[in-house]
């Protein structure tokens, strides 16, 4: 059997070799296997897929027409550039840098211009808005300050409000500033303007009927004339704004009265716990005075942290009608007779603070108070104040933690322990007093924070608003809208 198999294989090999040699020689060829005829496929010319249309980044809403502009559209308009910097409400100076964009007055021309009774309501992506008058748009009527001293400039400089798309020849960081932001620019390097004009994340301009500009005089331990723009800035929903519906379902928007009181009741006019709760115990009163002299008086205890007594500056998203303009007191906790309109003064019954004496030559200068959207004070070597940009410049941590009420969530922020180390906690400190923008306070043992590597000052979806992220600690320590921590 084995021999037969070998013979068969040998025969097969010889046959294969014979066929191979025959194919290589000029001998008779075996009949070729038919091959299908190949027809030439016509070449179809193709064109590149059309580019996606540019996305509009700025909407301009006029009374009769509107425009949606892409970045390309903006850059095709006349360019205005200059130096812009800001002075915050707490006095912090952000030095001027070169910014480039399009002037508001040039953007107004795209929708037919506007007269002196109109202005632009500049709106940010998060809903924050502030209105610029025609005088500010056309003539740059803003107050400017010396960036070195913070003092108002005695000799005005030429200013222009622009929608900026570049700073120092670079696009803005979309996360920090948005694609566009409003800036007040000048050819003068040594000037800054009020920070509430410098709106970030701008995406819309709306033409608004303004009526006359106005100033509210707020007097107490301090005297603080407060203009329309400051009230509107404070009244944004992301800041201290609130609203109230009357019996006709009209929506009134404004700022709780206690915020005005807190701006003048002591030397802390904005940062930290501005409303001084300890002074309430003295029993002072608050007068809200109309242009015709009509006055409504409140006890401080009734007003403190009461969001149902508010100073309204608009109704149904418009300026107040003539019988109430510019401001009216409204809210659920008021009787009809207490809803005074045409408010021109708020008088807080506290003695004016004495003028600060110049320190003697031998005295060390007093430490500057911390300023910023979040401050650390108390038993520390150095009081610290931070804006969100300052915090994001530090090491930012991202964690997943179990919220006591809402379950597991992702959080982003800066280590509380790192911030305390920067301030330098003094020996003997035991607790942290945490204060929120609405006056809420909670105390946390310093030892609990030191044992918590994941405890954060967390970022939120709203710029300059922070929350505490406190893994494995009680729910009352997870404070929202945190503005200060006092080490005690």
Q: Give the mean model confidence (pLDDT) for residues 189-216.
A: 86
Residue 454 · residue 437 · CB < 8 Å: no
| pLDDT (tens digit per residue) in 349-393 | 998 887 554 444 444 444 556 677 899 999 988 888 888 887 887
3-state secondary structure of 421: helix
Q: Which domains does the chain have, with CATH numbers?
A: 58-209 (3.90.420.10), 215-348 (3.90.420.10), 374-487 (3.90.420.10)
| pLDDT (tens digit per residue) in 295-324 | 999 999 999 989 999 999 999 988 888 899
Could you give the CA distance from residue 425 to residue 175 in angstroms, rounded to a whole number? 32
Judge whether residue 479 has pLDDT over 90.
yes
485's tokens: 């921590």
pLDDT band at 201 (very low <50, low <70, confident <90, very high): very high
pLDDT: which is higher, 52 or 121: 121
**Is the peptide bond preceding residue 326 cis, with omega within 30 degrees of 0?**
yes
Residue with tokens 């202005």: 119
pLDDT > 90: percent of the chain: 50
Q: Report how far apart, in Å, the C-alpha atoms of 14 and of each of 86, 216, 318, 345, 407 are.
A: 98, 115, 105, 119, 82
Q: Give the mean model confidence (pLDDT) for residues 242-252.
A: 93
Report the candidate in 213, 98, 229, 111 with the shortest Cα–Cα distance to residue 167. 98
278 φ, ψ (degrees, to nearest 5): -65, -35
User: Which strands make up the sheet holding 441-445, listed edge to edge?
Assistant: 384-386, 374-378, 482-487, 431-436, 441-445
Q: Give the mean model confidence (pLDDT) for residues 395-409.
A: 90
pLDDT: which is higher, 395 or 211: 395
pLDDT > 70: percent of the chain: 83
Q: Give the mean model confidence (pLDDT) for residues 151-160.
A: 88
Predicted TM-score (pTM) of the model is 0.51
Q: Give the mean model confidence (pLDDT) for residues 62-88.
A: 93
Beta-carbon contacts of 381 under 8 Å, excluding residues fewer than 6 positions away, are 423, 424, 426
Could you give the CA distance from residue 106 to residue 112 in angstroms, rounded to a whole number? 10
The confidence score (pLDDT) of residue 377 equals: 92
Q: Report how far apart, in Å, the C-alpha atoms of 319 and of each of 71, 119, 121, 127, 222 are.
A: 32, 12, 12, 18, 28
What would you report as the CA-atom Rg of the chain, rounded to the nearest whole angstrom?
Answer: 35
Could you give the CA distance from residue 378 to residue 430 in angstroms, rounded to a whole number? 11
The confidence score (pLDDT) of residue 161 equals: 96
The confidence score (pLDDT) of residue 324 equals: 93
Write the DSSP symbol of residue 111: T
């Amino acid at each position: 059997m084995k021999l037969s198999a070998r013979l068969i294989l040998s025969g097969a090999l010889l046959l294969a070799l014979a066929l191979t040699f025959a194919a290589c020689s000029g001998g008779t060829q075996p009949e070729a296997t038919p091959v299908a005829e190949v027809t030439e496929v016509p070449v179809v010319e193709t064109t590149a897929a059309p580019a996606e249309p540019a996305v509009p980044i700025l909407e301009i809403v006029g009374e009769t027409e509107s425009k949606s502009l892409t970045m390309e559209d903006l850059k095709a308009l006349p360019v205005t550039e200059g130096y812009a910097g800001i002075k915050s409400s707490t006095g912090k100076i952000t030095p001027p840098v070169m910014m480039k964009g399009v002037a508001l007055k040039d953007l107004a021309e795209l929708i037919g211009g506007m007269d002196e009774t109109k202005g632009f309501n500049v709106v940010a992506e998060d809903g924050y808005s502030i209105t610029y008058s025609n005088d500010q748009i056309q003539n740059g009527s803003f107050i400017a300050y010396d960036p070195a001293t913070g003092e108002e400039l005695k000799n005005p400089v030429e200013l222009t409000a622009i929608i900026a798309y570049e700073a120092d020849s670079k696009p803005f960081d979309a996360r920090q500033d948005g694609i566009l932001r409003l800036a007040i620019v000048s050819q003068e390097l040594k000037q800054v303007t009020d920070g509430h004009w410098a709106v970030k994340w701008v995406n819309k301009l709306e033409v608004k009927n303004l009526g006359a500009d106005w100033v509210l005089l707020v007097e107490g331990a301090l005297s603080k004339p407060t203009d329309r723009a400051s009230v509107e800035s404070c009244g944004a929903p992301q800041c201290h704004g609130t609203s109230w519906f009357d019996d006709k379902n009209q929506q009134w928007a404004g700022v709780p009265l206690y915020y005005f009181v807190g701006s003048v009741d002591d030397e802390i006019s904005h940062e930290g716990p501005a409303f001084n709760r300890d002074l309430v115990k003295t029993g002072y009163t608050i007068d809200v005075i109309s242009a015709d002299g009509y006055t409504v008086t409140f006890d401080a205890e009734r007003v403190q942290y009461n969001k149902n007594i508010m100073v309204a500056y608009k109704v149904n998203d418009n300026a107040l009608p003539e019988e109430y303009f510019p401001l009216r007191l409204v809210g659920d906790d008021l009787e009809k007779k207490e809803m005074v309109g045409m408010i021109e003064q708020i008088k807080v019954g506290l003695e004016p603070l004495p003028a600060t004496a110049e320190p003697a030559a031998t005295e060390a200068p007093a430490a500057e108070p911390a300023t910023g959207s979040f401050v650390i004070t108390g038993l520390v070597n150095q009081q610290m104040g931070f804006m969100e940009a300052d915090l994001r410049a530090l090491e930012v941590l991202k964690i997943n933690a179990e919220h006591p009420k809402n379950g597991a969530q992702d959080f982003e922020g800066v280590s509380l322990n790192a911030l305390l180390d920067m301030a330098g906690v003094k020996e003997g400190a035991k607790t942290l007093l945490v204060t929120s923008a609405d006056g809420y306070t909670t105390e946390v043992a310093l030892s609990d924070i030191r044992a918590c590597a994941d405890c954060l000052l967390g970022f939120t979806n709203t710029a300059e608003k922070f929350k505490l992220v406190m893994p494995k600690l009680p729910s009352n320590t997870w404070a929202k809208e945190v503005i200060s921590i006092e080490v005690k």
